[in-house]
Structure 1
């Protein structure tokens, strides 16, 4: 009887010990962080995007461009144009082009001097330009004399390779002397920084004796 009592007491102690061990494991498991298959969080800020190199708008005429005088065969006037630009002869003058910019000068007979009103109301409609928008019509003073100026924007002809159309801006100057009108047109892409080159060209025009 004494032996049986001792064995029973030992069994009770073993069961109690097993119960305590199971509770400890359950408590430790519940206190651990749940992963649920999520990736571990990482610190630090995202990698900054690379800074793009700035470039001049298409059509900017280089600051080191040289200007050379041009006189037509008749010798009626002189105007300075950028050196090295491709020249095309016209029935009443010539045009000079380089990439997206152009200088065009022509002389026609005229019975009266041009006015701001005639430039806006009469000359503008004669300009065959796609989606033309007149920005300004005014009178300006240049070294070669007073000129009527017409500023307008238009769509360029589609590029023969890419088909791309560029929005251009033109400055048209009309000089008058003794029944002759000289029309000087400077054009290039909208946004190009050509203020100084265009001033150099328009300031250089002069009638010859």
Structure 2
């Protein structure tokens, strides 16, 4: 190889190296551009969060209770504020949506027993019969399940869980009945109401 051929060979080698370097630099630039580009946004909408719901008939935790005293009958009981009241000859009833409270009094020759209270449940599935202590005195309690009264508009009937307390003093019996749909968590409100019952001066 003469001098001229050597020069030409060196020039061509340098040109090839320059092209390779340029191609590598372009590839690196494209790689960096792809790495820095944000991922395309998903077209799928975010999944909606499940709405919170309470079982039908749950009495709210922030319910305010007020004292009720029947005119002419010797008892007092606390009931949720704002519930609709129905005056009865022997007491009173209170309702709100699917829940109800009823208090009735009547003369009684002797204190109630678990047997006598059980016999007063003419229909329904009895769950518990026991004697309990409340702030207003001892009571016989029966817990049972039965169909509700049909809704006057829709005719719908639901299965209620009912707590009935029989209090007694001096020849008079008071029946406190608490009812709401099966599955409603009303343990605390019902305890507040049953604990609040007390006899007043005759």
Q: Stretches of 4+ moved more than 4 A in 1?
A: 47-51
Question: What are the residue-to-residue correspondences of 1:170-209 with 2, within 5 Å?
Answer: 170-209=162-201
Aligned length: 158
TM-score (norm 1): 0.71
Question: What are the residue-to-residue correspondences of 1:50-199 with 2, within 5 Å?
Answer: 52-120=50-118, 122-125=119-122, 132-199=124-191
SS at match of 1:199: helix
TM-score (norm 2): 0.73
SS at match of 2:72: coil
Query: Structure 1 residue 74: deviation in Å?
Result: 1.2
1:157-203 CA distance string (max 9 Å, x none)? 22233332211011000000000000000000001110000000000
Equivalent residues of 2:73, 2:91 under 8 A apart: no
- Once residues 183 and 50 of structure 1 are traced to their aligned partners in structure 2, the CA distance between those partners, rounded to angstroms, is 48
- Once residues 126 and 121 of structure 2 are traced to their aligned partners in structure 1, the CA distance between those partners, rounded to angstroms, is 8
Unaligned runs of at least 5 residues, structure 1: 1-46
Unaligned runs of at least 5 residues, structure 2: 1-44
- Once residues 171 and 112 of structure 2 are traced to their aligned partners in structure 1, the CA distance between those partners, rounded to angstroms, is 11
Equivalent residues of 2:136, 2:197 under 8 A apart: yes
